[in-house]
Structure 1
Amino acid sequence: MKTLRHNDASAAKHRDTLADTLLANKIITSAEVERAFRTVPRHLFVAEGTPLEDTYNVDNSVAIKRDPDGVIISSTSAAYIQARMIEQVGLAAGMSVLEIGSGGFNAALLAEIVGPAGHVVSVDIDRDVTDRARELLDQAGYGNRVDVVLADAENPLPGPHEPFDAILVTVGAWDLAPAWLAHLAEGGTIVVPLRMNGVTRVIGFRREGGHLVSTSSEVAGFVPMQGEGARDERVFLLPDRNGHHVKLRFEDGVPPGLQLLDGVLTTERTEAWSGVTIKHGVSFADLHLWLAVFMPGFCRLAADEGTDLAAERKGWFPFGAVHGDSFAYLAVRPLPDGGGSEFGARAYGVHGVAAATALVEQIQAWDGQARDREPAFAYWPAGSDRPEFGKDTAVLFKMHGVSTISWPPTASAAR
């Protein structure tokens, strides 16, 4: 395997610049993670010819492998999320770490932090990925500090293994495999990009009694899990009058009667507005999460070029809901003073007004009950004793357990 070995001084300068940026943005918060990012040569783990500017960009992920349709199935994650996940898991010298989803660079960072007395195991289901990771780790000087294992991590690791102090899952997981929890030491932390009805949060979990509670969460996207832990989306195509399509993507159940949407894009579009506003540059990612877990018929949207939606991309976001024979999607319109936008909904179908109104009501509920409040996550493995969940707790049933999301009550509700 050939990798492009950039001039050492030039690569080191880019490495330091990346670390400086991650520190300035408070993405890196510990000396151990800072040292790892200043030490490990990220450019040795990306494709030959990748420019240093791209390799050491804070936000860039770099594809490792694509499927026959060109979809990325393995990648080196963006530096910012690698740093945050390692900070989330709270590593120290001498710890043992299991990485699920291999690539090489992240495992080298882990090895650098836990040191020679630590232990890193990196597992992946794809032989091409593990062979590549093993070779690149050797080239970068970490081959004797990381065990790369070819296996489906949905199942227990082959051979005897002591429980790990930390587990990092670096692929999008719909559920937590029982094998992961069996491999996690008492008091250990698992960090996992958990998919919740199509919306992902990178959550740090720690055991508390018979279940897991969140210690941190971050917004990020990951390539989906392969193998036994895979969860395929169901995609429904809505044709417009010109033969182009809008795709509705469902992850946790398809609403009944989708055939009622046939021809829906030929109906007149309606809209409703919430009065809920947001300033430019302010994140509203938790609105997406709120809709995913509380909005009946929730789906993600994608629009082919040539559709009306494609021509209006700056005025909507790819989240919506099916409402019988109609569907609505999250929209925004600029405020008159130009300082921000108002949330609303646009809809198609005979009952488009009702569909848009239902979505607007959820926007208003988020604004009143969850906005600017950090959600807490929990995971209850199958067989654990679960309490009665309140109406403000979202409950998502998984294959191996139940995940929950709750927002702290407002001051008025707490009284």
Structure 2
Amino acid sequence: MTTMDGSLVRDPDELRADMVRALREQEGIKSERVAAAFAAVPRHLFAPDAPAELAYNLHRTVPVKKDGNGLDISVMSAAHLQAVMLEQLAVGPGMKVLEIGSNGVNAAYLQELVGPDGEVTTVDIDPDVIGPARVNLDATGYSRVKTIVADGESGVPAGQYDRIIVTVAAWDIPPSWIGALAEKGRLVVPLTMCGTTRSIAFDRDGDGLISDSYGLAHFVPMQGEGAARERKVMLRLGVALQTDDVRVPLNTDALNSALDTSRLERWSGAAYDLPDELDLYLTLNLSSVARLHADPAVIDSGIIEPSARFGVPALVSEDSFAYRTRRENADTGGYESGVIAHGPNAEALADDYANVLREWAANHRRRGAATFRYLPGPAPATLPQDAVLRRHGIVTVTWH
């Protein structure tokens, strides 16, 4: 089919078939059941205002709603990420599934996976999101999906669910989610820790949770009672530090002054590889970590390294900071990790940071090296070194 200007418009069924093939090739889809669900659901009908080519793009989101500043607060997630998380969820026929955060299409996939004997409930805080989701579910034949307007933290519908999937970036795991999870249930949640997010598949482990798998994820943040508690400071135009750890000092004036000092370079001799795994390790093992962001103009000026383009873990003190960089080095397999540091304590911070880089390269340089546990309830008087303090409990990480 061609439009008035002569451009080609591809048939949605063809686009959907191509999407499924590509998801298989990229290992987003690994099972026949998830493949069948993606082949069955007319994804483009859940994004009626977007081009079908965008709806079926593997790695692009479709905007659903923006805030007053033009930032996305609801999107239809990219197909690849949805497939990965549904594989993590391991939904079986006849299961009872709860989705927190709704656009409709993921609930349709879930209905395909649970089959006629299963039950799917999807919850969203925003009537402007859940309303169109309801309309689209009914229009595409998925009227059995239950839709509820509620806060995802406190408004979880009563019942025991075999599977719970969260499709917004969550800062914590509230008691309502664990309480609603069946004894052998699984929770898949994009959990944000110190500015970095991973989709973690948690299984019940007594009163708490233990991870089965995790992967890179990016979602709009949760709204309502579960909204993140983060601090963000602008050191100067185009340079920001962000953290959710109240123990990290963010002295704006002193850290901005540090940026005016000569930069210290420290090369670790350790391989730079698997950037998402390294990023996670640094985030959870640096002693006082924030996320350093710099816009392209600042990076082009040479003030900040390109590693900060999408955020990089920074080790922060009252008046100094250090962050990761890299350079080509055939002796370390292609690239070598290094540290850039600024401020009066640059030497000490650079040494500490480089030691963490070496530890990762020597002992944890592979995918899936972390096991996460979530322990609900009051934090112990002395937190373990690897613990991340949350509102309702703590996250601990063991590295293998």
Task: Flag whether TM exceeds 0.5 (same fold).
Answer: yes
1:293-348 deviations in whole A, cap 9, x for unaligned?
12122111222454356657774242212133111111111226897221111122
Q: Which one of the candidate residues 388, 391, 395 is aligned to 1:403?
A: 395
Q: Which moved further from structure 2: 195-204 or 248-257? A: 248-257
Task: Show the counterpart of 1:69.
Answer: 69
How much has 1:110 moved relative to structure 2?
A: 0.4
Any residues of structure 2 matched to 1:11-410 within 5 Å, and which? 11-48=12-49, 50-142=50-142, 144-157=143-156, 161-239=158-236, 244-253=237-246, 255-256=248-249, 258=251, 259-278=253-272, 282-308=273-299, 311=302, 315-317=306-308, 318-319=311-312, 320-335=314-329, 340-372=334-366, 374-382=369-377, 394-408=386-400
Cα 1:291–1:40 change in 2 (3 A) is same
Cα 1:390–1:369 change in 2 (3 A) is farther
In 1, Cα distance between the equivalents of 2:214 and 2:47?
27
Cα 1:257–1:85 change in 2 (3 A) is closer
How much has 1:52 moved relative to structure 2?
A: 2.8
Q: Which amino acid aligns with 1:342?
A: E
**Structure-1-length-normalised TM-score:** 0.87
1:33-53 deviations in whole A, cap 9, x for unaligned?
1111001011111251x3333
How much has 1:262 moved relative to structure 2?
A: 4.1
Q: Which amino acid aligns with 1:217?
A: Y
Asked if the contact 1:194–1:202 (Cα under 8 Å) also holds between the matched residues in 2, the reply is yes
Structure 2, gaps ≥5 residues long: 1-7
SS in 2 for 1:249: strand
Total equivalences in the alignment: 388
In 2, Cα distance between the equivalents of 1:310 and 1:11?
45
In 2, Cα distance between the equivalents of 1:406 and 1:25?
28
Q: Which moved further from structure 2: 34-43 or 375-384? A: 375-384
Asked if the contact 1:315–1:333 (Cα under 8 Å) also holds between the matched residues in 2, the reply is no
Asked if the contact 1:204–1:215 (Cα under 8 Å) also holds between the matched residues in 2, the reply is yes
Q: Percent same amino acid at aligned positions? A: 40
In 1, Cα distance between the equivalents of 2:84 and 2:180?
22
How much has 1:260 moved relative to structure 2?
A: 2.7
In 1, Cα distance between the equivalents of 2:128 and 2:113?
26
Structure 1, gaps ≥5 residues long: 1-6, 409-415
SS in 1 for 2:387: strand
Cα 1:36–1:389 change in 2 (3 A) is same
Q: Which amino acid aligns with 1:190?
A: L
How much has 1:256 moved relative to structure 2?
A: 3.3
1:359-415 deviations in whole A, cap 9, x for unaligned?
11111121223222621111111169x9x9976xx111211111111112xxxxxxx
1:220-258 deviations in whole A, cap 9, x for unaligned?
11111110000132111213xxxx341011112252361
Q: Which amino acid aligns with 1:326?
A: S
Cα 1:337–1:371 change in 2 (3 A) is closer
How much has 1:284 moved relative to structure 2?
A: 2.4
How much has 1:94 moved relative to structure 2?
A: 1.2
Q: Which moved further from structure 2: 80-89 or 100-109? A: 80-89
Cα 1:308–1:194 change in 2 (3 A) is closer
SS in 1 for 2:229: coil
Asked if the contact 1:211–1:379 (Cα under 8 Å) also holds between the matched residues in 2, the reply is yes
1:108-166 deviations in whole A, cap 9, x for unaligned?
11011112221111000011001111111122121x211110000211435xx431111
SS in 2 for 1:154: coil
**Structure-2-length-normalised TM-score:** 0.90
SS in 1 for 2:86: helix
In 2, Cα distance between the equivalents of 1:336 and 1:349?
31
SS in 2 for 1:316: helix
Q: Which moved further from structure 2: 83-92 or 97-106? A: 83-92
RMSD between aligned residues: 2.5
Q: Which amino acid aligns with 1:15?
A: R
1:8-32 deviations in whole A, cap 9, x for unaligned?
9811111111111112222212221
